[in-house]
Structure 1
Amino acid sequence: MRVAIVTESFLPALNGVTTSVCKVLESLRDGGHEALVIAPGTTPWADTAAPERYAGFPVHTVSSLPIRQFRVGLPSYELETVLHRFRPDVVHVASPFVLGGRGLTAARSLGIPSVAIYQTDMPSYIRQHSGPIGDLTARAAWRWIRRIHSQADLTLAPSSAALQDLASHDVPRVALWGRGVDSTLFHPDRRADAETDALRRRLAPNGELIVGYVGRLAPEKELHRLAELNSLPHTQIVLVGDGPSAELLRDQLPGVVLLGRQEGLDLARSYAAFDLFVHTGTRETFGQTLQEAAAAGLAVIAPASGGPLDLIDHGSTGLLFDPDREGALREAVARLAGPERESERTLMGLAGRARVETRSWPALTEQLLGYYARAMGRDRAAVA
């Protein structure tokens, strides 16, 4: 199959959209398919550019502008030209909003089937950053999303909560497609690595409980909630990632350790060094880092909202806390803190890993190929 992927985000940016696109590309390569990537390119303010190829496939970049540390690809008729030359069987549009919206328009004008991946709750982010007109701008964002996704032959949402959001805003032709996780890279056995042991001793020299977070350090992740943990004894908060909230978090979380942006083995060892994984954002359509933490054998604590509702079996693989009740996060962490709770944390981690072990990227990409076939009018049993 020939697949053109139009993505709102790509390397060198690291986020959920980029990770999903890269993993799909690797699986398409391993399956003998052909692909092309169309992504935001470098800007005059950027130090690094997108790669010219990824997983052996060409990467075509378009002009972009930086907005809040993101590169936003500028829509143009260039997409029709690129797609016409590549002649894909299907156009895969990752988290369409600006460039992706133009990609769907181009696919429709050329008569190419398209599949849109809904991944970012943009209306909630816009509401959060729009002050007193937040509700108005969020409603406008939903109208734009409905307009964009109505052009797609199929829209895939990552969780039941996201499916409900799309349905409630009259987005047509939706289906559920989750995300894969690398359960070989993220593995409980890494806790025994010498490098992981050295990291644990550096982070918690007095044997403190390490409560870790992985992700972007930005207002929409609601990391201010972690301040509830400041008074917990014998606890060390560790954050992996970067973003505009880094310095503010140093002030809000006395003694916090910021490890910065990580990937590959360094990231896997950081997960392995944690005792508990905590996520704070209530606007997640999925929550990929929750899956990675589970694969690493960690009990996971997250809000009872959005994507985590599908990923955490409360009391079995972790805990869901009420984000509207002050102190609920602290209570959840305190419940699993202390050496006397180590066996409970271990059992939750093992149960969480068992749930995600079958969610490999090759398996999820095979399901995605079935959705491509549906968009092309050739149903496979996988999507019946």
Structure 2
Amino acid sequence: MNKITIVTDAWYPQVNGVVRSIQNTNRELERMGIDVAMVTPQSFRNIPCPTYPEIRLSVATYWQVAREIEASKPDAVHIATEGPLGLLARRWCLKNRVPFSTSYHTRFPEYVAARFPVPIRWMQAFVRWFHNAGNGCMVATASLERELAKLGLRNLLRWSRGIDQSMFHPRPLEEKPFGLPRPIFLTVGRVSVEKNLPAFLDLKLPGSKVVVGDGPAMADLARRYPDVLFTGLQTGKDLADIYAQADVFVFPSRTDTFGNTILEALASGVPVAAYPVTGPIDIIEPGSRAGVLHEDLQQACLAALDCSRDNARALARKFTWEAASRQFLDNVRTSQKRLALPAP
């Protein structure tokens, strides 16, 4: 296998875990000699997603997507998302009896139900229909695998995540970073309803709170919480510098399937406070003293102040993009070897 075509509805200029995961995996695959072709919204006319304009939805026909895939002459096809492009790529694979793999990056039923009056069981049925048509569905963690298996998803394969240790690492601590008193409680991610940010912003904590990121809830939350520093979107070294100045990284989401930002914080030497849910429970090892998981997020935040920055860094070293990308490649190969797809 020399060439993989990845179809994704999430791509630049979006900045999120899906985009970063694919980007980092592509870089490692190319180092392994694998040619990666991308089918993304950049190739088609697109419109803003209702209630979330930062996400662009492709307005493409089946034949347009078919031409993109066929022009790439892939040895294997991987469909990363359940959006318009993912649906059309799924149709093409089934029509042409081409085995394909998929990945489950976000809690699609919960995210749709949070924005539109759609019963969550309908969206769960859609997820089963979408992913079970393929020969392998990649998931990031053991807890998510168990959860999806209970929903009836089959052929689940593990695809973990990594962290760029050269970008995210400890830096000298400033006495008053951002001009704010310590301790600094930081969160990073999309500023949107599914991230459960008020659960963090409402806490009575010493020191200061900092939110890094942008999204549809930004203006409302900045107005409601004037004492919180909202930095907006940050990337690259600027983002890494911010991480390294935090005392505790707070992850209030209950719906993420992994939490790449947790790894970025740990690699920066910052202990984590989070709920004991999928993602955090798969990363923060019991007894590691790299973070605290608790149903009382305030208790987790305060206890995390006593965790070890060195232990946080040591835990992050277990996650590399090279290892995760080899998992991805092995999963694609496994999907190609499974029984032929049923007739469409």
- Is the shorter-chain TM-score for this pair beyond 0.5, marking a shared fold? yes
User: In the TM superposition, what are the counterparts of 1:80-119 in structure 2 within 5 Å?
Assistant: 80-119=66-105
Q: Tell me what 1:216 maps to.
A: 190
C-alpha distance in structure 2 between counterparts of 1:363 and 1:232, whole Å:
38
CA distance in 1, matches of 2:58, 2:153: 24
Question: Given the superposition, is the C-alpha separation of residues 11 and 109 from structure 1 closer, same or farther in structure 2, using an over 3 Å criterion?
Answer: same
RMSD: 1.9
Equivalence for 1:50: none
The match for 2:290 is 317
Displacement, 1:243? Answer: 0.8
C-alpha deviation, 1:75, in angstroms:
4.8
Q: CA deviation at 1:38?
A: 0.6
Distance in structure 2 (CA, Å) of the matches to 1:89 and 1:356: 34
Equivalent of residue 290 in structure 1, options 262, 269, 285: 262
TM-superposed CA distance for 1:63, in Å, is 2.5
- Please list the CA deviations of residues 264-288 of structure 1 after superposition, one character each: whole Å capped at 9, or x if unmatched: 1111101001111001110011111
**Equivalent pairs, count:** 332
Q: CA 1:336 to 1:170, structure 2 compared with 1: closer, same or farther past 3 Å? A: closer
Instruction: Give the structure 2 partner of residue 73 of structure 1.
Output: 58
2:83 maps to a residue whose letter is: F
Instruction: Tell me how far 1:72 sits from its aligned partner.
Output: 1.4
> What is the letter of the counterpart of residue 31 of structure 2?
D
> Residue 331 of structure 2 is aligned with which of 354, 361, 371?
371
Unaligned runs of 5+ in 2: 339-344
Structure 1: tracts of 5 or more residues without a match: 42-60, 323-327, 338-343, 379-384
1:15-26 alignment runs, 5 A limit: 15-26=16-27
Contact map agreement 1:204 1:236 (CA 8 A) in 2:
no
1:178 is matched with which residue? 160
SS, match of residue 40 in structure 2: strand
What secondary structure, in the 3-state scheme, does the structure 1 residue paired with 2:285 have? coil
Structure 2 distance, partners of 1:353, 1:103, is 40
> Is contact 1:91–1:114 with CA below 8 Å preserved after alignment?
yes
Letter in 2 for 1:370: D
Correspondence for 1:201 among 139, 155, 176: 176
AA in 2 matched with 1:203: F
- 8 Å contact 2:195–2:254 — kept in the other structure? yes
Mark the CA change 1:309 to 1:240 in structure 2 (over 3 Å): closer, same or farther: same
- 1:141 CA displacement: 1.0
Q: How far apart in 2 are the matches of 1:211 and 1:90? A: 43
Name the TM-score, length of structure 2 as normaliser.
Answer: 0.91
Paired with 2:29 and 2:275, the residues of 1 have a C-alpha distance of: 34
Does the 8 Å CA contact 2:292/2:303 hold for their aligned counterparts?
no
Taking structure 1 as the reference length, what is the TM-score of the superposition? 0.82
With CA pairs under 8 Å and 6+ residues apart, which has the higher RCO, 1 or 2?
2
Aligned partner of 1:250 in structure 2 is 222
Pairing 1:1-384 to 2, within 5 Å after superposition: 1-41=2-42, 61-67=43-49, 68-69=52-53, 70-77=55-62, 78-130=64-116, 133=117, 136=119, 138-188=120-170, 191-192=171-172, 197=174, 201-205=176-180, 207-229=181-203, 231-233=204-206, 235-314=207-286, 316-322=289-295, 328-337=296-305, 344-345=306-307, 347=308, 349-377=309-337
